[in-house]
A and B are shown apart, each in its own frame.
Chain A
């Protein structure tokens, strides 16, 4: 089971959470001006990367808040967790931490 750090409640078991898909996807300001292709892209096209992924999680069986997490889709290492509205962390810097191995990433978490 993953242990996911909720920015409000701290580290919690995965089963208290629901996945919310990719983060930082802004709804178009005026959907009526979009053509079908652009609207379809907003609705359905996601980056699905192999590597670091910024994604939304909801602590539904806890504080019930949405927040964002940066997770490595290969190893499931979670590198960052931050509140909705906060800026996306520097993904390149996180990738360098990850390159040092999951243990280095855990050490980085502790030193915060």
Chain B
């Protein structure tokens, strides 16, 4: 008998019964390949070249190139996001480009799950559990950062004026979802 692995997203059950609220719509993102990259400055260039996105050197900024994203997390640390199933290819390519350069490349594809919140009140919903200033001036489009949402650590990324992506650890995902759901109920019809 062939055993088939069935992949279940951490938020599938919750998102299936989420109400539609246009001012702050909440949805899960499709599965993705993710890496945490750390290294010394000599490794930044080759790593970005092999991944396909030059690693942003400005603090708290994300860069994207044909479906791949590099998010600055620290002065020597990035979160790399690519399409589902591309992890093995990326790892092989980066490892060969970085041969001889001290670095760490850890696959965290299944550690995180991602969700997006979009709408005119998206920032207000995030601010229900995160004290960062999310005005367009202090937190412009393209800015990303690790921060705290209620009691859970998240990576917050402003993709567009009214659209944020949250990278959450899988085991915290249901908690974060429930807190967002609670906050956005206020903006329901």
Contact = CB atoms under 8 A, between A and B. Distances in A.
A62 B75 contact: no
Contact of B75 (A8, A13, A15): A8
Interface stretch (B40-48, B91-99, B144-152): B144-152
B131 A13 contact: yes
A106 interface: no
Nearest to B149: A61
B132 A13 contact: yes
B59 interface: yes
B108 to A, nearest CB: 15
A32 to B, nearest CB: 30
A4 to B, nearest CB: 12
B147 A63 contact: no
Interface in B24-80: 59-60, 73-75, 77
Q: Is the interface of B mostly helix, strand, loop or mixed?
A: strand
A64 B60 CA distance: 12
Given A15-B148, A61-B153, A62-B147, A1 B131 contact: yes
B131 A15 contact: yes
B75 A61 contact: no
Majority secondary structure of chain A interface residues (helix, strand, loop or mixed): loop
A24 interface: no
Given A63-B74, A63-B75, A9 B131 contact: no
Contact of A64 (B59, B74, B132): B74
Nearest to B75: A8
A16 B60 CA distance: 15
A64 B77 contact: yes
B145 A62 contact: yes
B131 A65 contact: no
B131 A61 contact: no
A12 interface: yes
A13 B147 CA distance: 9
Given A64-B74, A64-B77, A12 B132 contact: yes
Return the 8 tightest CB-CB contacts between A and B, nearest first: A63-B74, A13-B131, A61-B148, A64-B74, A61-B153, A8-B59, A62-B146, A15-B148
6 contacts: A8-B74, A61-B153, A62-B145, A62-B147, A63-B73, A63-B74
Interface of A: 1, 8-10, 12-13, 15-16, 61-65
